[in-house]
Amino acid sequence: MMHAHRFYIDGEWVEPCVSKTLEVIDPSTEQPAGTIALGSAADVQRAVTAARGAFASFSQTSKTERIDLLKRIVDILKRRNDELGDVISREMGAPLAMARAEQAGIGATHFEQTIKAIETFAFDYMQGSTRIVHEPIGVVAMISPWNWPINQIACKVAPALATGCTMVLKPSEIAPFSAVVFAEIMDEAGVPKGVFNLVQGDGPTVGTALASHPDVDMVSFTGSTRAGIAVAQAAAPTVKRVHQELGGKSPNIILPSADFAAAVSAGVRRCFGNSGQTCTAPTRMLVPAERMEEAGLIAAREAAALVVGPPSDPRTDLGPVASGAQFDKIQTLIERGIAEGAALVAGGPGRPSHLNSGYFVRPTVFARVTNQMTIAREEIFGPVLSIIGYDSEEEAIAIANDSPYGLAAYIQGDPQEARALAGRLRAGTVRLNSCAWDSAAPFGGYKQSGNGREYGKFGLHEFSETKSIVGFLDE
């Protein structure tokens, strides 16, 4: 059992202002994994005050000082990687090997990429007689999700530190313990007092208090579009910057020129990775209509080969989804897909037959889906794939763009054809032919998938204000 009954504020582990706790559930057993203290508006006030107090000095540190700090963090992240992965596996259900290699390992990757970016980033330069200066935006409230907990913490904290910002982090109360380990790493690395602060709690209390606080200069939020709207509304009266990475319903267009079996198989695996709990998951597979039956058979075979089981079992491909609420939502949407007439070709309602407890979902594939069905419109956030047919390239583009979301899109097929189509997709990231992830590429969405960009030099811009000093040189 893990417990997190103190918050990290102003360089110290402190008792909360109000004595209130929340039970954290292990999704693989449905049993308590530990408890956390729930923060209050008073705790937020303490943390923001500490961050505001530290900003005056930290914002004036040199690039060299901040690079040295980032390098120390990388070293400790790598040393504590397996411990961090173990915690993530227990709190949100990722298979242990994946939690160590990907969920935890991605944290150091973001910090290393930020170091590369800051080394060449021009914080000030001349434009004629005017000096252009990029300055830290100030105190940043960071609200992070449970599905990739360290990924979303690292890609906010790294650029904030690099630019000279101070911050208050509120991790998800569903997967809170990895943030505690992360705070320990910040402390061990020697992050100055007040620069990094951690307050646990729920969205309506701590999240709202952070988003609305007049001394917070920016909110960086990752989560659902519904919650993102609430954060933006809370932040609006103080006109602070609001950066959001929100929901997705990403299309995966398989062109006639693709290696069809390989493309369908790869699309299923990418959709179901992390038990489907990835905002960029390609959950809408678009295939030539005349190959719908073939696509369904390939996808069903791929889904059936996936092992669903306890995160600690090395044979496990998919662990549980992260919470009971998420499990119930997924079950409701699977039932809706059946009711609306989609062809269920793999999986379906309920747990896999060999599991009688835990939030385990059967890898589910629907064929003959139309883009108007609920399962094609709503972000399910579970291992559920919808296969949609198209009759022409133009129709495929139209279907892909017919969504309130625009976070990511995928194209499989001839590289020249794929490149030509990429510019027509309304999405922040377009991935061609199962390419590798690029940790330096800007990450963020169009439409209701959010605004702003993270990763590499783009994160540095996001956490900066731009100042022009006109007449800096006397002509």
Claim to verify: residue 232 and residue 255 sit in the same structural domain: no
Same domain for 242 and 164 = yes
Q: Are residues 160 and 280 in the same domain?
A: no
In a domain, 475, yes or no: no
Q: What was the pLDDT predicted at 272?
A: 98
Q: Domain count of the chain?
A: 2
* Residue 475 in this model has a pLDDT that exceeds 70: no
Catalytically annotated residue among 155, 165, 271, 279: 279
Burial readout 310-337 (b: 16 or more C-beta within 10 A, e: otherwise): bbeeeebbbbbbbbeebbebbbebbeeb
Inside any domain, residue 474: no
CA–CA distances in Å: residue 423 to residues 63, 264, 371, 430, 447: 36, 23, 21, 9, 16
Mean pLDDT, residues 415-436 taken together: 96
Same domain, 395 and 461: no
In a domain, 405, yes or no: yes
The answer to the question of residue 97 being in a domain is: yes
Residues 256 and 135 in one domain: no
* Domain annotation covers residue 456: yes
For strands 139-143 and 196-198, give the pairing. Answer: unpaired
Mean local confidence (pLDDT), 222-228: 96
Instruction: Name every residue whose Cβ is closer than 8 Å to that of residue 449 and which is 6 or more positions away in sequence.
Output: 225, 245, 246, 247, 248, 279, 405, 406, 407, 427, 428
At residue 399, the pLDDT reads 98
Residue 95: name the closest of 264, 312, 305 by CA.
Answer: 312
Please state, as a whole number, how many other Cβ atoms lie within 10 Å of the Cβ of residue 128. 10
Q: What is the CATH number of the domain that holds 255?
A: 3.40.309.10
Q: Name 330's Cβ contacts closer than 8 Å, sequence gap at least 6.
A: 321, 361, 380, 381, 382, 384
Angle at 442 between CA 271 and CA 52, to 5 degrees: 115
Assess whether 271 carries a catalytic annotation: no
At 44 the pLDDT is 98
- Catalytic one of 91, 112, 173, 245: 245
One domain for residues 323 and 377: yes
Q: Rounded CA gap, 29 and 385, in Å?
A: 25
C-alpha 49/C-alpha 71 separation (Å) is 27
Helix (H/G/I), strand (E/B), else coil: 240: coil
Instruction: Please tell me whether residue 159 adopts helix, strand or coil conformation.
Output: helix
The answer on 68 and 6 residing in a single domain is yes
Q: What is the pLDDT of residues 294-308, one digit of tens each?
A: 999 999 999 999 999
To the query of whether residue 279 is one of the catalytic residues in this protein, the response is yes
**Interval 307-364: pLDDT, tens:** 999 999 999 999 999 999 999 999 999 999 999 999 999 999 999 999 999 999 999 9
Instruction: Determine the pLDDT at residue 2.
Output: 81
Is 47 found in the same domain as 34? yes
Is a pLDDT exceeding 80 seen at residue 1? no
Q: Is the pLDDT score of 3 beyond 90? A: no
Q: Kindly state whether residues 421 and 273 are assigned to the same domain.
A: yes
Its domain, for residue 351, covers 251-440
DSSP per position, 6-61: -EEETTEEE--SS--EEEEEETTTTEEEEEEEPP-HHHHHHHHHHHHHHHHHHTT-
Condensed to tens digits (0 to 9), the pLDDT of residues 134-180 reads 999 999 999 999 999 999 999 999 999 999 999 999 999 999 999 99
- Residue 89: both structure tokens together: 């596996």
241 and 256: one domain? no
Between CA 446 and CA 282 the distance in angstroms is 16
* CATH number assigned to the domain comprising residue 87: 3.40.605.10
pLDDT of 383 > 70? The answer is yes
- Give the other-Cβ count within 10 Å of 441's Cβ: 15
Same-domain status, 92 and 117: yes
For 86-152, the DSSP string reads: HHHHHHH---HHHIIIIIIHHHHHHHHHHHHHHHH--SEEEETTEEEEEEE--EEEEE--SSSHHHH
Q: 286 and 195, same structural domain?
A: no
Confidence at residue 474, expressed as pLDDT on a 0 to 100 scale: 77
Does the predicted TM-score (pTM) go above 0.85?
A: yes
Residue 159 and residue 460 in contact, taking contact as beta carbons nearer than 8 Å: yes
Percent residues over pLDDT 90 in the chain: 98
Quick: pLDDT tens for 18-42. 999 999 999 999 999 999 999 999 9
In a 3-state reduction of DSSP, which class is residue 446?
A: strand
Q: Which two tokens stand for residue 103?
A: 């969920």
**End-to-end Cα separation, the chain, in angstroms:** 68
